[in-house]
């Protein structure tokens, strides 16, 4: 491949090497040239390390860098990284890792010699953080590496990565690498290369001065923060593992007596509660007029809708029949307020039970499925919304059971909630408008009524399928 004529040549005969991360086989023989070369470069640093990287969560690398800063008191480090990650899920997966990465330097007592910053672009009174997607590292203006590897655990041992490492073999090479570093910093600060060169000895002070001005570009400090949510704690080990998960191998170790007993116990408990509400004295409480009378006491109060929503949440936890709650809410609060309240209660209850299922069983289910997990997830992600719509319209299992099982699968929360909304809305709307007549129909259905209901169901299913097709087509075009 010929060098483009319009691109000036800034360095020639610069030695270059290749560093890879590659998972060779499930037995664990992984090529870790990226991690080893990073460690070697860090241990050789004596003056200045400049890093641009999207993800910083590999605490092993952070500890190596902190130890080198302890060994060399003159060593300074500048890390340019995003203020926020590009999506909510990325934040859940990577935020805690970055917090742990930054904390390594505080624990080592060298935080005053390292800066974590994010670029900002300003226009008049508006300010926006600039996304950083690069993966670059410069050590002492002697080593320049650029490639695909992030400073996260995945890039060290679980993903396939490839970096190019340039090493200066002459003063001309060192001047070139130094110029690259200065131009990058100058670009983020709205300065020129000469200004960075003249302020090398007090670079951090220069960055502080620029941040205090009204310039179009600047670098601001990134704070160390940790997410305490259950989802973040659950997602991070799966999203950023230090080694391949090898689900098939893990699955072979999961078929223990303890595991089987735990799964069986949860299943028996859920279906036991379902049967109890239908065939024991508890069935006396599952009468819609009885529940409606309880809710009617609060129907004229501002607390009425909140009380009804709370009833949906509690009812979901004890596998109370959701149809009874919907009918009772519509009868007590009226058609439209009852519809809105029932819809909110159903969605909140579904979300909570989905979260419980995910917290209890997602990782375990993936381990149990082994190599089949990827195939199942691929099929669910493409048809997830429609699948949930069908299950909601044709209740093959109690509402609460479906929510927990969905949470324990790889079904995305978005697909689950949108499918629940689309699938439950027509039934709740009909229940709100027709009230007790729907319940009578359920008890005294005729063939003609069943046919009309089936046609209505197929029509609504067609609308949902069409919406799913359009959404998938648009996502594919993007």
What is the DSSP secondary-structure string of 140-165? TTTEEEEES--BSHHHHHTS-EEEEE
CA distances in angstroms from 441 to 151, 284, 375, 446, 455, listed in the order given: 61, 20, 41, 8, 16
Domain end point (choices 234, 257, 290): 234
pLDDT of res. 448? 63
Task: Note whether residue 85 is domain-resident.
Answer: yes
Range 449-471 average pLDDT: 57
* Strand 76-80 relative to strand 114-123, pairing: parallel
Please tell me whether residues 267 and 353 are part of one structural domain: yes
Domain of residue 293: give its range.
Answer: 245-477
Is residue 474 over pLDDT 60? no
Distance CA 366, CA 250 (A): 9
CA distances in angstroms from 348 to 204, 266, 351, 354, 400, listed in the order given: 48, 22, 5, 10, 12
The H or E element containing residue 167 is strand 161-167
Give the pair of three-digit tokens for residue 100. Answer: 């742990």
Please tell me whether residues 328 and 196 are part of one structural domain: no
Give the lowest-confidence range in 60-64, 129-133, 144-148, 155-159: 155-159
pLDDT of res. 470? 53
Please tell me whether residues 176 and 299 are part of one structural domain: no
Task: Note whether residue 220 is domain-resident.
Answer: yes
Please tell me whether residues 225 and 294 are part of one structural domain: no
Is residue 401 over pLDDT 60? yes
Distance CA 311, CA 313 (A): 5
Distance CA 274, CA 400 (A): 9
DSSP secondary structure of 99-149: HHHHHHHHHHT-GGGEEEEEEEEEETTEEEEPP---EEEEETTTEEEEES-
CATH classification at residue 129:
3.30.870.10
DSSP secondary structure of 241-255: -SS---HHHHHHHH-
Instruction: Give the phi and the psi of residue 314 in degrees, each rounded to 5.
Output: -65, -40
Using a pLDDT cut of 70, give the percent of the chain over it.
Answer: 56
Is residue 63 over pLDDT 90? yes
Calculate ∠ Cα 43-44-47, nearest 5°: 110
Q: Under DSSP, is residue 219 helix (H, G, I), strand (E, B) or coil?
A: strand
Range 184-189 average pLDDT: 95
Domain tally, the chain: 2
- What is the chain's mean pLDDT, rounded? 74
Task: Note whether residue 45 is domain-resident.
Answer: yes
pLDDT of res. 347? 86
Please tell me whether residues 252 and 215 are part of one structural domain: no
Instruction: Give the phi and the psi of residue 222 in degrees, each rounded to 5.
Output: -90, 130
DSSP secondary structure of 1-48: -PPPTTS-----S--EEEEEEEE--TTS-EEEHHHHHHHHHHHT-SSE
pLDDT of res. 66? 96
pLDDT of res. 78? 97
Please tell me whether residues 275 and 224 are part of one structural domain: no
Domain end point (choices 234, 263, 282): 234
Task: Note whether residue 240 is domain-resident.
Answer: no
Please tell me whether residues 277 and 251 are part of one structural domain: yes
- Residue with more model confidence, 127 or 371: 127
Task: Note whether residue 11 is domain-resident.
Answer: no
Task: Note whether residue 8 is domain-resident.
Answer: no
Is residue 247 over pLDDT 50? no
Question: In angstroms, how far apart are the furthest CA atoms of the chain?
Answer: 91
Give the lowest-confidence range in 27-36, 80-89, 121-130: 80-89
Is residue 281 over pLDDT 70? no
Is residue 219 within 8 A of residue 119, CB to CB? The reply is: yes
Closest CA relative to residue 362, chosen from 277, 468, 472, 245: 245
If pLDDT is split at 50, 70 and 90, which confidence band does 144 have? very high
Is residue 457 over pLDDT 90? no
Virtual torsion, Cα 103, 104, 109, 112, nearest 10 deg: -60
Range 203-222 average pLDDT: 91
Distance CA 146, CA 429 (A): 57
pLDDT of res. 45? 96
The H or E element containing residue 366 is helix 335-369
Q: Under DSSP, is residue 217 helix (H, G, I), strand (E, B) or coil?
A: strand
Domain end point (choices 186, 205, 234): 234
Give the lowest-confidence range in 152-161, 228-237, 319-328, 403-412: 228-237
Please tell me whether residues 87 and 125 are part of one structural domain: yes
Please tell me whether residues 144 and 293 are part of one structural domain: no
Task: Note whether residue 4 is domain-resident.
Answer: no
Highest mean pLDDT among 122-126, 363-367, 382-386, 423-427: 122-126
Range 334-339 average pLDDT: 75
Distance CA 8, CA 346 (A): 63
If pLDDT is split at 50, 70 and 90, which confidence band does 352 have? confident
Please tell me whether residues 228 and 259 are part of one structural domain: no
Range 456-470 average pLDDT: 56
Q: How do residues 223-239 score in pLDDT, each as one tens digit? A: 765 544 444 454 555 55
Task: Note whether residue 325 is domain-resident.
Answer: yes
Please tell me whether residues 304 and 161 are part of one structural domain: no
pLDDT of res. 336? 74
DSSP 224: P
Instruction: Give the phi and the psi of residue 151 in degrees, each rounded to 5.
Output: -90, 55
Query: Which residues is 31 bridged to in the sheet?
Result: 22
First to last CA, the chain: 31
Distance CA 248, CA 251 (A): 5
Chain centroid to CA 180: 34
């Amino acid at each position: 491949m010929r060098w483009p004529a319009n691109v000036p040549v800034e360095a020639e005969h610069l030695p270059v090497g290749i560093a890879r991360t590659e998972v060779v086989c499930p037995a664990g023989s992984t090529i870790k040239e990226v991690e080893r070369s990073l460690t070697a470069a860090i241990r050789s640093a004596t003056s200045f390390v400049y890093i641009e990287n999207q993800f910083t969560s590999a605490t092993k690398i952070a500890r190596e860098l902190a130890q080198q800063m302890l060994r060399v008191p003159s060593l300074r480090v500048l890390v340019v990284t995003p203020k926020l990650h590009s999506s909510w899920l990325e934040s859940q997966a990577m935020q805690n890792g970055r917090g742990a990465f930054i904390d390594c330097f505080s624990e080592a007592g060298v935080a005053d010699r390292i800066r974590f910053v994010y670029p900002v672009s300003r226009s008049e009174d508006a300010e926006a953080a600039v996304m950083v997607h690069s993966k670059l590292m410069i050590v002492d203006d002697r080593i320049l590496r650029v490639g695909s590897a992030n400073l996260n655990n995945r890039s060290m041992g679980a993903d396939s990565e490839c970096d190019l490492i340039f090493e200066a073999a002459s003063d001309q090479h060192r001047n070139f690498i130094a110029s690259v570093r200065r131009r990058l910093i100058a670009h983020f600060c709205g300065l020129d290369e000469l200004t960075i060169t003249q302020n090398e000895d007090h670079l951090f002070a220069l960055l502080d001065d620029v941040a205090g001005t009204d310039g179009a570009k600047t670098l601001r400090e990134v704070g160390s923060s940790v997410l305490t949510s259950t989802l973040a704690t659950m997602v991070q080990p799966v999203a950023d593992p230090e080694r391949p998960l090898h689900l098939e191998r893990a699955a072979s170790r999961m078929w223990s007596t303890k595991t089987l007993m735990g799964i069986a116990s949860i299943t028996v408990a859920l279906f036991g509660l379902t049967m109890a509400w239908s065939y024991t004295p508890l069935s006396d409480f599952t009468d819609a007029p009885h529940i409606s009378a309880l809710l009617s006491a609060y129907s004229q109060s501002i607390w009425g809708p909140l009380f009804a929503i709370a009833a949906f949440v509690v009812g979901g936890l004890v596998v109370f029949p959701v149809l009874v709650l919907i009918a009772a809410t519509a009868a007590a609060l009226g058609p439209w307020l009852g519809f809105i309240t029932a819809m909110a209660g159903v969605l909140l209850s579904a979300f909570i039970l989905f979260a419980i299922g995910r917290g209890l069983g997602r990782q375990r289910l993936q381990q149990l499925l082994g190599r089949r997990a990827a195939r199942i997830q691929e099929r669910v992600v493409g048809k997830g919304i429609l699948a949930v719509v069908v299950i909601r319209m044709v209740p093959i299992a109690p509402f609460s059971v479906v929510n927990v099982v969905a949470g324990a699968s790889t079904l995305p929360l978005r697909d689950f909630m949108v499918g629940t909304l689309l699938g439950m809305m027509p039934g709740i709307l009909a229940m709100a408008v027709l009230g007790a007549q729907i319940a009578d129909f359920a008890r005294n259905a005729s063939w003609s009524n069943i046919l009309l209901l089936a046609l209505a169901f197929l029509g609504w299913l067609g609308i949902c399928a069409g919406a799913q097709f359009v959404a998938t087509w648009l996502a594919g075009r993007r």
